[in-house]
Chain A
Amino acid sequence: MTETTTDLTTLPPGPAIKGKLSRDDIVMRGGMIVIALYLVVTLALPLYVMLSKSFSTYRFELSQYEMQVSDQDGVFDGTVLNPADLNAAVGAFDSADLSTGSDGRLPVSKLFPDFNFRSPVMYQIRNAQPGGRFLVGSTLHDEDTWLELDSNSFRRVQLRPMKFTGLDNFSNYFSTPALFNSIKNSLFIAVISTVITATLAFWFAYALNRSCMRFKGAFRLIAMAPILVPSLLPGIALVYLFGNQGMLKELLFGASIYGPIGIIIGSVFFTFPHAFLIISTALAISDARLYEAAVSLRASPWRTFWTVTIPSARYGLISAGFVVFNLVITDFGLPKVIGGQFNMLAVDIYKQVIGQQNFEMGAVVSVVLIVPAIFAFALDRYVQSKQVATLSSRSVPFQPSPDAKMDRIFLIYSSLVGVFIIGILAVCQFAALIKFWPYDLSLSLNNYQFDRMDGGGWASYYNSIKLGLLTAVIGTSVIFFGAYLVEKSNGFRVGRSLFQMIAMLPMAIPGMVLGLAYIFFFNNPANPLNWIYGTMAILVISAVTHFYTVSHLTAVTALKQMDREFESVSSSLKQPTLKLFSRVTVPVCLPAVLDISIYLFVNAMTTVSAVVFLYSPKTSLASIAVLNMDDAGDIAPAAAMGMMIFYTNAAARILHLIASKGILRRTQAWRAR
């Protein structure tokens, strides 16, 4: 025997054992790659195209062309003219005329002051450098041979611009006060709304979690109501309340609701449930033992509040703040309806794209909007990752004890918040049923005759339901299956963490930006997926992608609670993983699956920003109809349609509740002991 001893501190050299892939491994990796590709095609690529658009500028390069002019007899003397020199001499176009968009066209005949389309003079034109292009009528010429044209044809010669990459669009943006002021406006509105919403929601959640006041269940329901309506609906209510002919106009003492005040009040309304949910969760998990310790140390309630309650809820508060900030700064519907002359970033994108057809500038504003959105998103993720670490499994839930005086104060406070929320909805419903505010207050259903207004009529309402259902079914299947693959497959670590990262991205991308990116990406005739542009498919895809992250996180949370050895047991029993998935995983996770589907349905029904660039006359949607009818001055029908969305979503929620209870009773008998 040799005396050498094995070195136990280092691996012996050689390749690591490479596992043979089972059929399941291959199926699961394949599935994961397919879903990752879906996200790349519907998210990463469009965003990339949009980003590159924001750096693209188009300019007419006159020096790229050469021309010749004949005498009155049509004889050329061989003199070659450069259009740039001609322009310098004639001054037909200044430099602003020469910078244009991707669709720009420049008529060259203007370079010849004595041009007349009836004259017998002949012209020749050619591209002097490769890459130059010009149109004769609608025929494109990019060859460098001379083309001879008579005057009448030369009239129809138009130069096409060259594409350049650079920061011109951005310098343009930042030198236009009307545009970059929006940054200030957006930040201002978002910060103020965040502070107000977080404060209101905190005390509301506090009342529900930490007091013994009555009607808690009802208040919880009311607090969640705004989630069921499009964000622009509170705007319409505010117009009725405080607008030029508003019921309570005097309360504003001459200030106008059209502008910051209206946007902030509306933002508080539509972001309230989001903040309330997050803060309520944070308050619900507080540890009773800390309060017992505080009492035994004779700390005053005030001191206990600041040393126990606030610190334990601070991550919830911060998280709620970021979520509200993000919602407000990326929202489009509300400032569109009630913003008046007050410009905000999301509305700017809309104005640039729809109003001015300046897609490049739209892309620039989008990039500007992404920055704070991603910033808030990243901070929120960071804060949430810290919160997990503060949870202790030994915590004892806090049980509030009755305090007549405080309970009454909380009841009054909660009632005020409740009146605000119900009030906004009631005003909308009232507005929808009034014949002609404020002159004819008799009730009628005239405003529900959507087919007589702009906006697509009842068809858009049915389209919305179709979109909601398709998004719920397709989205839930794709997202839950994707989460399963990434959570429960073996090895493939790099691929899985990459997938997780891509799945987090949609949350950081504002709907408007996603929509605009889709225009650039899918409306390109060279894209093989071009055919989905203008169909229901692109609306479903944009909705699924836009709401991917929250659904993915819900699915992952549910899957994490499943015993991670189920897959090991199943493979040791030589059963396909897909059998385990359908027989065990899906049934056990059914509550989460149902939650995801109702989340997708409600959001697809209410979203405006994700679809406003993508709908076609055939696929108009209810939320878009609200926007367009309001735009056209049909505010009452807009309110009526908005309330239709509310009732539909409320019904869907109730149906979801009944269905999940029924399904749970049938398929989850094992839960009962």
Chain B
Amino acid sequence: MPLVSQISQIIPAVYGGLGRDVSARAHSADRRTNLVTQATASGDLYLSITNLWKAFGDFLALKDISLDINEGEFICFLGPSGCGKTTLLRAIAGLDLQTRGQVFQDGKDVSNLPPSERDFGIVFQSYALFPNLTIEKNIAFGLENTGRSKPEITARVAELLQLVGLPEQGKKYPAQLSGGQQQRIALARAIATNPGLLLLDEPLSALDAKVRVHLRHEIKELQRKLGVTTVMVTHDQEEALTMADRIVVMNQGVIEQVGSPTEIYREPANLFVAGFIGEMNQIDSSVASGGKLSLGSENYACISHKFATGSPVIAAIRPEDIIPHEAGFVPDAQNSDCIEVMLREMEFLGSFWRCHLHSDRFGASELIADFSINAVRRLELGEGKAMVVELPENRLMAFARPEAV
């Protein structure tokens, strides 16, 4: 494709091309081993961020960020507040320029261009609809002065209103619409000019839970229909898991992991990602012979890891991955390693029970397990009862212990 060759000429670094760029690439790639999954085959490279830094005075908000995004992809920046995800989005938009590093969009170096000379539409948490203009005029705002005739603009506005499912609301003012409707109008305004890139800055955070779930689905549908490359910033992991093609997990100005929702959830790259997304039991442990994890006096088989025997690690397993068995259960060859526990406390959470399991091997900490209503009924589980739980080998993970602060 001509586009590819064009890009590879301009940004050989991305493709591990020639010359000094190779060393620069290798330099950072080494540190990012298994953090950045290469752009998937779904589309051509569209947005490329290389070695991006952002400093606010002495504070480093972004530290050496590199990331490739493909055409048509839906990317979520996910992380706790203050992790730099919005800063990264604003750097991509040119609203707050990075201190070091480059941004390439569609083969063009846009690193120092003002927002008006880049190609993107943006939606903010606050909607930022112009309160004194009607819905129609809000959407038409970006269509004016672009060489379109009045009838063309009117037609385009009607089309967009249809697209976001609010065809009757054009004459109203923003304050007359609900939050969810306003956000859809903001979306229509952002895509009115067919930008190559859609940026969403926590678009759903100001809405109440029901509307949020509904709109989540709609935005994803719309994005798929238009095929527009989309970057969304969110601190809501559920939002990221349901909407994104790939998630970029960020923390303290660095990218912790990039991957598809299932990768991020099932194969977290490190303890931060494991703890930040979903629930995760974390128990102090060390590596025993054969790579097993020792908990108290016994050792448990786990997913293969790179830690040496004897090194201190954190053993981690998700609550829903723990398999319940009745007391006195004897594992056979098909079963993974089991552990006898006491059911100390049960919380009813609707579709399942959250159980707090106690064993002397965990010391003071407890193991949390989610058991289905079915299993609880079948095994006649109750508070204070003894039981056996199985820790599946392929679900038990080992992570490096965070350095003591």
Instruction: Give the interface of A toward B (CB within 8 A).
Output: 1-6, 8-9, 11-12, 14, 16-25, 490, 563, 565-566, 568-576, 579, 583-584, 587-588, 667-671, 673
Q: Given A6-B27, A16-B99, A584-B132, are A571 and B114 also a contact pair (CB < 8 Å)?
A: yes
A-B contacts besides A6-B28, A571-B114, 19 pairs, CB < 8 Å: A1-B26, A11-B53, A12-B100, A17-B111, A565-B126, A566-B130, A570-B141, A572-B190, A572-B195, A573-B141, A573-B192, A574-B116, A574-B142, A574-B146, A575-B144, A579-B145, A587-B132, A588-B132, A670-B173
CB–CB A668/B112 < 8 A = no
Give the CA-CA distance A490 to B115 in the complex, in Å. 11
B256 shortest CB reach to chain A, Å: 13
Residues of B within 8 A of A563 (CB): 124, 126, 128
B173's nearest neighbour on chain A, judged by CB, is: A670
Pairs across A and B, CB under 8 Å, 6 listed: A8-B63, A11-B55, A17-B100, A23-B116, A575-B145, A588-B131
Chain A residue with Cβ nearest B101 = A17
Chain A residues, Cβ within 8 Å of B94: 19
A5 and B26 contact, CB distance less than 8 A: no
Q: Would B114 and A6 count as touching, CB distance under 8 A?
A: no
Write out the residue numbers on chain A whose beta carbons fall within 8 Å of the beta carbon of B301.
none
Whether A669 and B142, one on each chain, are in contact in the complex, defined by CB atoms closer than 8 angstroms, is no
| Residue from the list A17, A583, A587 in contact with B97, Cβ < 8 A | A17
Indicate the member of A11, A569, A572 with the most B CB atoms within 10 Å.
Answer: A572
* Least Cβ–Cβ distance between B38 and chain A, in angstroms: 16
A572 engages B114 (CB within 8 Å): no
Contact B116 A22 (CB under 8 A): yes
Tally of B interface residues using CB under 8 Å: 55
> CB distance A670 to B175 under 8 Å?
yes
B10 an interface residue at 8 Å Cβ cutoff?
no
CB contacts (< 8 Å) of A588 on chain B: these are 130-132
Across-interface contacts of B128 in A (CB, < 8 A): 563, 565-566, 568-569
Q: B31 within 8 Å of A by Cβ?
A: yes
Flag if A11 contacts B116 (CB, 8 Å).
Answer: no
- A673 to chain B: which residues have CB within 8 Å? 175-176
Q: Is the CB of B112 within 8 A of A17?
A: yes
In angstroms, Cα B126 to Cα A588, docked, is: 17
Q: How far is the CA of A667 from the CA of B98 in the complex (A)?
A: 40
Measured between beta carbons, the chain A residues less than 8 angstroms from B332 are: none
Cα distance A671–B176 in the bound complex, in angstroms: 9
Smallest CB separation, B170 vs chain A (Å): 14
Interface membership of B400, Cβ < 8 A: no
How long is the Cα–Cα vector from A64 to B328 in the complex, in angstroms? 120
Q: What is the 8 Å Cβ interface bit string for chain B, positions 112-146, against chain A (1 contact, 0 not)? A: 11111110111010101011110000000110111
Q: With A4-B27, A573-B142, A573-B189 known to touch, is A18 a contact of B132 (CB < 8 Å)? A: no
A17 to B120, CA, bound (A): 20
Contacts of A4 in B (CB 8 A): 27, 30
Instruction: Report whether B30 and A5 are in contact in the complex, using a CB–CB cutoff of 8 Å.
Output: yes
A571 to B115, CA, bound (A): 6
Report the separation of the CA atoms of residues A193 and B30 in the bound assembly, to the nearest whole angstrom.
Answer: 75
Q: B118 contacts which chain A residues (CB < 8 A)?
A: 572
Residue of B nearest to A669 (CB): B173
B93 within 8 A of A: yes
Name the B residues within 8 Å of A667 (CB-CB).
Answer: 132
Q: Once the chains bind, are A573 and B193 in contact (CB under 8 Å)?
A: yes
- Across the interface, name the chain B residue whose C-beta is closest to A10: B60
Q: Chain B: residues with CB nearer than 8 A to chain A? A: 23, 26-31, 51, 53, 55, 60, 63-64, 93-95, 97-101, 111-118, 120-122, 124, 126, 128, 130-133, 141-142, 144-146, 173-176, 189-190, 192-193, 195, 253-254
B272 to chain A, nearest CB (A): 15
Residues of B within 8 A of A584 (CB): 130-133
A588, B53: Cα distance in complex, Å: 37
**CB nearest neighbor in A for B252:** A8
Query: Complex Cα distance A29/B193, Å?
Result: 28
B117 x A20 contact (CB < 8 A): yes
Q: Which residue of chain A has its CB nearest to the CB of B30?
A: A1
Is there an interface contact between A2 and B144, defined as CB atoms closer than 8 Å? no
CA distance A273 to B214 in the complex (A): 54
Residues of chain A within 8 A (CB-CB) of B173 are: 669-670
The distance from the CB of B404 to the nearest CB of chain A, in whole angstroms, is 18
* B345 to A: closest C-beta gap in Å: 35
Evaluate contact between A18 and B189: CB separation under 8 angstroms.
Answer: no
Cβ contact within 8 Å between B254 and A8? yes
Q: Chain B's nearest CB lies how many Å from the CB of A558?
A: 13
Q: Are B124 and A568 in contact (CB under 8 A)?
A: yes
List the 7 shortest-distance A-B pairs measured between CB atoms, nearest first.
A573-B142, A22-B114, A670-B173, A565-B128, A571-B115, A571-B116, A584-B130
For A586, the closest partner residue in chain B by CB is B132
* CB-CB nearest in chain A for B93: A572
Residue from B28, B64, B121 within 8 A of A572 (CB atoms): B121
**Chain B residues within an 8 Å CB radius of A570:** 141
A100 to B242, CA, bound (A): 87
Q: Smallest Cβ distance from B399 to chain A, in angstroms?
A: 19
Closest Cβ of chain A to B96, distance in Å, is: 9
Chain A contacts of B131 at CB under 8 A? 584, 588, 670-671
In the complex the two chains form, what is the Cα distance from A568 to B60 in whole Å? Answer: 23
- When distances are taken between beta carbons in the complex, the residues of chain B under 8 Å from A565 are 124, 126, 128
Query: What residue of chain A has the Cβ atom nearest to residue B192's Cβ?
Result: A573
Among candidates B55, B63, B124, B144, residue contacting A569 with C-beta atoms closer than 8 Å: B124
When chains A and B are docked, how far (Å) is the Cα of A25 from the Cα of B114?
Answer: 9
Q: Chain B nearest CB: distance from A477 CB in Å?
A: 19
The closest CB in chain A to the CB of B113 belongs to A20
Q: What separation, in Å, do the CA atoms of A19 and B54 have in the docked complex?
A: 14
- Set of chain A residues within 8 Å of B23, measured between Cβ atoms: 2
* B residues near A583, Cβ cutoff 8 Å: 130, 133
Provide the bound-state CA to CA distance between A485 and B211, in Å. 37
Give the Cβ gap from A70 to chain B, nearest Cβ, in Å: 80
Tell me, in angstroms, the Cα distance from A669 to B131 when the chains sit together.
Answer: 10
Q: B115, B118, B126, B174: which has the most chain A beta carbons within 10 Å?
A: B115
Residue in chain A with minimal CB distance to B142: A573
Chain A residue nearest in CB terms to B132: A587
Docked Cα-Cα span, A94 to B330, in Å, equals: 123
A503 to B73, CA, bound (A): 48
CB of B89 to closest CB in A, whole Å: 11
In the complex, the answer to whether A572 meets B30 with C-beta atoms within 8 Å is no
Specify which of B97, B111, B118 lies most central, judged by the most chain A CB atoms within 10 Å of its CB.
Answer: B97
